[in-house]
Structure 1
């Protein structure tokens, strides 16, 4: 797709190899969002080459800047006040501080929006109208603008005015009814997922929606408003579990780590912990039985076919547990992998980054940071052969690029910028 604006030139963070142009180079994004869902979308667009400007409150910035510990440490090992949470979602952006409570600040953001291709915001419904920064107002100054609103419950409906949080959506959207030990089991009860998964999925949906809107703009020269709700996304991501209810009339329940439609597909105890066995078909089950030293199970009429295994789940799981407890996780994984049975350990996060395959995929990156020699971050998983992800900027310090952006985007003079700073607009 053609993009109207050219990105301003800026120095990349230190990295090996020449800096290549990203797939979205030339795309200008104004990111007014905070916390995770919106910033995650902004980071993904930035990783793909877009010039993403993070607009923050002077003095405080994004809420997550204070969500610590842990904090980034400086060269002496002392905490810098830059939180790990903030670092996780704001790479490759440039930070500009603007006071939206003042008319001059509102006018400044409107000017930036007039030069942008995309705007991302997660204010409460109607929250930006008081500043003249809602979609209808900005559509008048920039009809090509793709305006992405992320809220808890969407722009319409009886819950629209409510604030929305990931934990709340995991509960209201059904995910917690599926997560946790089954009723009657030790440790029973609903659980949230260990990361803010609804926020992350919403950020991914937002990125897809933004690119779809840009493709539509390519054909029509017209931007549009994207209404994205965390609750909608959570429901959409129920996938086969929602289909079980809508098509089969079955209300899924918590099953711990077991799968409702496939057996064996869960964790099993070993001599030193747990391992996962993920058998997806009858052929794999036969291999699994042979690896366990119980080849006769694969011809047992109770277990030979997956529907029978699901029906006789409790009997089969008890039998497998009785065998797996006799060897260590490492021993079983070697045996299962040699037999072609999908399996793996339940890794802690440190073990994830110690894994040889993860290291070979370079899923940990190091970026230079003004307050520390390097900051360690998780790499973007997208691998593009012709326009690979580039790591240009570490997550920016608050307001670090205000002058730079106002000069590049709005061609402001030093005197104009200094006047804004003197009046505490920026």
Structure 2
């Protein structure tokens, strides 16, 4: 069955996470992705570990399936010529060099669009192509700090905390993918390619959603609230008899059903808890009452009671518990791939469920330079030329 993006060729010269995550999604959707790696070291994440599985980094594996790998020395003239040939056959370039780096090498968008006017050129940088920080390197951790995200993450009286995954990179990969799909649609209508300028900082600021809006509307600086919600009560972590769970009571009707499930329906009739605004004003008292009541049953017992009452809730799972959840398996969020080195390689599945063009995991995360020779042959290089390129450290 054909993928939604079959026939689209992605030339991916990005490394680490944001760019590779974006190109992996495009590959999952059916695009052909050619991953260009440094001719000596490859993608940095190949060395990030442990854990390693049969010599392959788990970090690298997470964002690089459905791709082919070619090694290339982009500082050599012959390497640049190979890149230009690939671009002339491609639809999209994804790159995350520092702003202006490829321009200095003669490989920026203005140079490449002369070869391929319909080219879509997606540039991912820490701070974007404009502004006083445009020349600075951007790392997820730094972006989480500068975007304000860390200032609102953590306990009220504790230190600022980063999110447990590189969330700025992940969000940037998603935004870049949206930009590429939009540019492809524009090209379908007009035949025109274009450049896409994506910044990690911009993406993380955009993703502050209601927290940013609260500040812009009120002028009040949002603060860390731990596991509580700034606008809704009760909406937080509580401790059951055997562990923690989250309860998210979103409106007054849910609060009535919640108090009934707790065995204290009269709470919903009390003036101090009648509406969400009242509950916000009486937060400490209400949270204390709810916490005491919830501590008498197990997570599973509360899951049944609260589900039956239609109250959004869920246990705080470990990663192990999450992967053992039957819902995860029902949604095919764990997939097994064949790999030349790793037996029964498991990866997270795709969350994109398309009825007509379903995601297909066609290719394992490639070994370093696994497809160099076959790709060069596709674009017209003779075996003798490939030997020459190897001897001259071009590939």
Is TM-score (shorter-chain normalized) higher than 0.5? yes
Q: In 1, distance between residues paired with 2:32 and 2:105?
A: 24
Q: In 1, distance between residues paired with 2:283 and 2:377?
A: 66
String of CA shifts for 1:191-221, please: whole Å, max 9, x gaps. 0000000100000000000111111112221
**Residue 416 of structure 1 corresponds to which residue in structure 2?**
385
**Residue 237 of structure 2 corresponds to which residue in structure 1?**
267
Q: In 2, distance between residues paired with 1:252 and 1:241?
A: 7
Q: TM-score w.r.t. structure 2 length?
A: 0.98
**Residue 125 of structure 2 corresponds to which residue in structure 1?**
151
Q: In 1, distance between residues paired with 2:131 and 2:89?
A: 32
**Contact (CA 8 Å) 1:66, 1:81: kept in 2 or not?**
no
Q: Describe the SS at the equivalent of 1:201.
A: helix
**Residue 5 of structure 2 corresponds to which residue in structure 1?**
24
**Residue 366 of structure 2 corresponds to which residue in structure 1?**
396
Q: TM-score w.r.t. structure 1 length?
A: 0.91
Pick one of 334, 346, 350 that aligns with 2:316: 346
String of CA shifts for 1:174-207, please: whole Å, max 9, x gaps. 1111110003xxxx12100000001000000000
Counterpart mapping for 1:25-424 below 5 A: 25-72=6-53, 80-183=54-157, 188-408=158-378, 410-424=379-393
**Contact (CA 8 Å) 1:267, 1:274: kept in 2 or not?**
yes
How big is the shift at 1:255?
0.3
How big is the shift at 1:132?
1.3
**Residue 16 of structure 1 corresponds to which residue in structure 2?**
none
String of CA shifts for 1:16-36, please: whole Å, max 9, x gaps. xxxx21000000000000000
How big is the shift at 1:324?
1.1
CA RMSD of aligned residues (A): 1.0
String of CA shifts for 1:106-143, please: whole Å, max 9, x gaps. 11111111111000000001111232111111111111
How big is the shift at 1:68?
0.4
Q: In 1, distance between residues paired with 2:183 and 2:313?
A: 40
Aligned length: 395
Is 169-178 or 213-222 further displaced after alignment? Answer: 213-222
String of CA shifts for 1:355-380, please: whole Å, max 9, x gaps. 01111111000001110222110001
Unaligned runs of 5+ in 2: none
- Stretches of 4+ aligned residues off by more than 4 angstroms: none
Q: In 2, distance between residues paired with 1:425 and 1:218?
A: 35
Q: In 1, distance between residues paired with 2:107 and 2:341?
A: 34
**Contact (CA 8 Å) 1:58, 1:97: kept in 2 or not?**
yes
Q: In 1, distance between residues paired with 2:42 and 2:231?
A: 46
How big is the shift at 1:318?
0.7
Q: In 2, distance between residues paired with 1:104 and 1:68?
A: 33
How big is the shift at 1:317?
0.3
Q: In 2, distance between residues paired with 1:414 and 1:387?
A: 37
Q: In 2, distance between residues paired with 1:339 and 1:328?
A: 17
Is 34-43 or 242-251 further displaced after alignment? Answer: 242-251
Q: In 2, distance between residues paired with 1:351 and 1:236?
A: 31
Q: In 1, distance between residues paired with 2:313 and 2:182?
A: 37
Is 399-408 or 388-397 further displaced after alignment? Answer: 399-408
How big is the shift at 1:248?
2.1
Q: In 2, distance between residues paired with 1:289 and 1:303?
A: 11
How big is the shift at 1:406?
1.8
Q: In 2, distance between residues paired with 1:422 and 1:220?
A: 44
Q: In 2, distance between residues paired with 1:421 and 1:216?
A: 40
Q: In 1, distance between residues paired with 2:204 and 2:311?
A: 32
Q: In 2, distance between residues paired with 1:386 and 1:415?
A: 44
Q: In 2, distance between residues paired with 1:359 and 1:42?
A: 25
